[in-house]
Amino acid sequence: MSRRTIWSAQLLVLLLCALALKFYYSTATADELRWILAPTTMLVSLLSGKSFEFESLTGYMSSDHMFVIAAPCAGVNFLITSFVMLGLRRLWRDGVQNVSWRFIPLAAVLAYAATLVANTMRIWIALHPVRVSWLTANQVHRLEGILVYFGFLLLLFMLTERSNSVKRFLFPLFIYYAVTLGIPLANGSWQQGSAFWEHFAFVLVLPLNLMLPLVLLHRCRIKTPKAFANPSPGLELATTLGSE
């Protein structure tokens, strides 16, 4: 089997896994999502000091019955986005070289761990609502969600990416748009009218505003002095020996 065929098969399996999880999540109940809701709730409880109890078909209800961690709080869309981003980046970076199939379960594990952290932060913020006079409560909720999830997606990408090019930031942005905007457009969610287009505008604009400081920081970073950029042969040898 040629390397190009193997690469194509890996790409197909990656996308099929993402689509299968998306289909599963579209109909899953809180009971069926306990594999991600339970550890998320445990972390939220540790961080916030609040206690939660599971109620079938509802989710994890706080002891004061004022907050519920339900199926929409599972963060599976972020899990899918992270998984696709990590997998596609590996395939794109290595091309048709002989890439081990292990990168798929590894991407799944990393995406799951990142989802637990991002979800915990997202829910913790929701437990401490912020009021903005010129935004409704739903708009503030949406703004917080986009900033948290895209922010963690960027962080995950930067932690796993080797390249220092400013263009690298375009990749997670493209994946985020493809999952959060492309799929809803494809399945006809735009027929919901103004509610969808308001959401579309938030998702389109906020990630760009979040990326702008990072791009500017990358552009304006201080160049390393030549004395440090080109160390003497003796220093270079000492560094090499010290790292062995």
DSSP 180: I
Q: Per-residue pLDDT tens for 96-153?
A: 677 788 999 999 999 999 999 999 999 999 998 788 878 888 888 889 999 999 999 9
Summarize pLDDT for 195-239 with one digit per residue, the tens: 888 889 999 999 988 888 777 776 776 454 444 445 545 444 344
> What residues contact 25, with CB distance under 8 A and at least 6 apart?
33, 74, 76, 77, 80
Residue range 180-209: mean pLDDT, rounded: 86
Which residue in this structure is represented by tokens 């998984």? 83
Give the pair of three-digit tokens for residue 99: 């890439």
Q: Are 50 and 62 in contact (CB under 8 A)?
A: yes
The whole-angstrom separation of Cα 111 and Cα 155 is: 12
* Mean pLDDT of the region 44-72: 93
What pLDDT does 235 receive? 40
CA distances from 32 to 53, 58, 59, 123 (A): 16, 11, 10, 19
How much is the pLDDT for 234?
47
Average pLDDT taken over every residue of the chain? 85
Domain boundaries, the chain: 3-28+74-230
Q: Give the pLDDT of residue 225.
A: 47
Confidence of residue 13 (pLDDT cuts 50, 70, 90): very high
Q: What is the mean pLDDT of residues 169-173?
A: 88
Summarize the confidence of residues 66-92 as an average pLDDT: 93
Q: Minimum mean pLDDT among 6-10, 79-83, 214-218: which range? A: 214-218
Cα gap 201→223, rounded to integer Å = 37
pLDDT band with cut points at 50, 70 and 90 for residue 243? very low
Q: What average pLDDT score do residues 164-191 get?
A: 84
Nearest to 23 by CA among 83, 107, 80: 80
Q: Are strands 52-55 and 59-62 parallel, antiparallel or unpaired?
A: antiparallel
